[in-house]
Amino acid sequence: MRSTIVSCLLGAISTVNAIATISIKGSKFFTSDGDQFFLKGIAYQLVPEDPLIDNTQCKLDAALMKEVGANSIRVYHVDPNGDHKDCMSTFEDAGIYLWVDLDTFTTQINQDSPQWNATQLSAFEKVIDEFQQFDNTAGFFVGNEVLTTGNGSVAAPYVKAAARDTKAYRNSKKYRDIPIGYSAADISELRPMLQNYMACGDNSSEALDFFSLNAYEWCGPSSNYQVSGYSQLTKNVTDYNIPIFFSETGCIKPRPRTFEDQAAIFGDDMNPYWSGAIIYEWIEESNEYGLVTYGEKVDPAGVSAPPDGYTRSGTPTPISPDFDNLSGQWKTLSPTGVKASAYTPSLTPPPCPAYTSDFWAVNGGVALPTLGQTFNAAIQSSITKGTAAAGTATTSAPTTTKTGGGSPGREVKGMGIGLVGVLVGFFWWM
């Protein structure tokens, strides 16, 4: 009897201490407690292959992330075969959620020769299998900056097919409805067709659960809501029916980084439509976007030196004044949003954008690729020559807005190209 009582008490304590899970209702994220959720996130790829295995390091980093005010991290690459329980528990204890990319360098969808096959799906499923068990897993990305040109838009249906099949897998396994979305490069030629395409259509099982944008437009004290282009970005999403947030942001020029855009993102002009932002990035590397360092850069040619010269473990040291500037912004910004119980979604999916030469190569709501299908430009598949489905919009050339200091997503393909070199050297170093 005594053991039964103890077990019940321990179970009750566990339930009380568990972090609230994240789900979607309409165009907003909500916690299981019914509160609207806004991301205050940091991109966290401390080591190339998986930063969520070394719990000693996770504890050091999570404590400082909590101090800066983060409630989310984005991780671009993980090993689904690793043991993530301790690190995920550490971040949960700090009130921090995980947004994780499903693809790798070998399984990502490529805009030049897009395909979606069983090998890719299986790899995505393994990441879902591993991370669905954690209550602080908040979302999955099926791709990062796959499309970077108008001609590259032929890859959009393959990204959407990946979302369709991973959502179907999640549901077939009866996992929690962890949101599945996409992280887009901020390319004016593709905006807003891409974001509308990812949400369009009458079949919700084929649409993304959320859309996000890697945007570096608000740069320095001379920028503002109008000059930065944030006003135009917001104009494009006022009727968007799924959640949208900044999956990377934070210009580095001019210095110092002031993060003044955070006041706009979490302010009255934007928080009715946007669900927060993820700052790029945690560790200082050659791109100089870091918020912390782990010591002085060393000669990569030295004995036992890290391959790029940047130490990736130990006690994190905040970079001044950038770290304090971000902390100062987030401490003053606490949008309450709306309670789930008081919110009744009324927005409907946007029309699928029509084919427009040089800007958008997909013909409306054509059938998505089947598993195993590869795009063949020589025979002009149904992606570009299919019959437009009902609800297809007429597309005009996009308006170009001013872009700031350049996206590291463009420079390193959202941790892609930049990490390839590091990855090769890192395994040698290990």
Q: Could you give the residue numbers annotated as active site?
A: 145, 248
Q: Measured between alpha carbons, how far is 173 from 171 in angstroms, rounded to an integer?
A: 5
Give the DSSP H/E element, type plus range, for residue 14: helix 2-17
**C-beta of residue 202 within 8 angstroms of C-beta of residue 349:** yes
Q: Measured between alpha carbons, how far is 145 from 182 in angstroms, rounded to an integer?
A: 8
Cβ-based neighbours of 256, under 8 Å, separated by 6 or more: 321, 322, 325
Tokens of 138: 């908040």
Evaluated on CA atoms 358, 363, 365, 371, the torsion sign reads negative
What CA dihedral angle connects 302, 304, 306 and 309, to 10 degrees?
A: -20
Q: Map residue 133 onto helix, strand or coil.
A: coil
DSSP string, 352-396: EEPPBTTTB-S-SSPPPPPTTEE--GGGT-HHHHSPPPTTEEP--
- Other Cβ atoms less than 10 A from the Cβ of 370: the count is 9
Q: Rounded to the nearest 5 degrees, what angle is found at the Cα of 213, between the Cα atoms of 210 and 216?
A: 160
Q: Measured between alpha carbons, how far is 243 from 97 in angstroms, rounded to an integer?
A: 16
282-303 as b/e: b if 16+ CB within 10 A: bbbbeeebbbbbbeeeeeeeee
Q: Map residue 69 onto helix, strand or coil.
A: coil
Instruction: Give which of 26, 52, 28 is closest to 38, Cα–Cα.
Output: 28
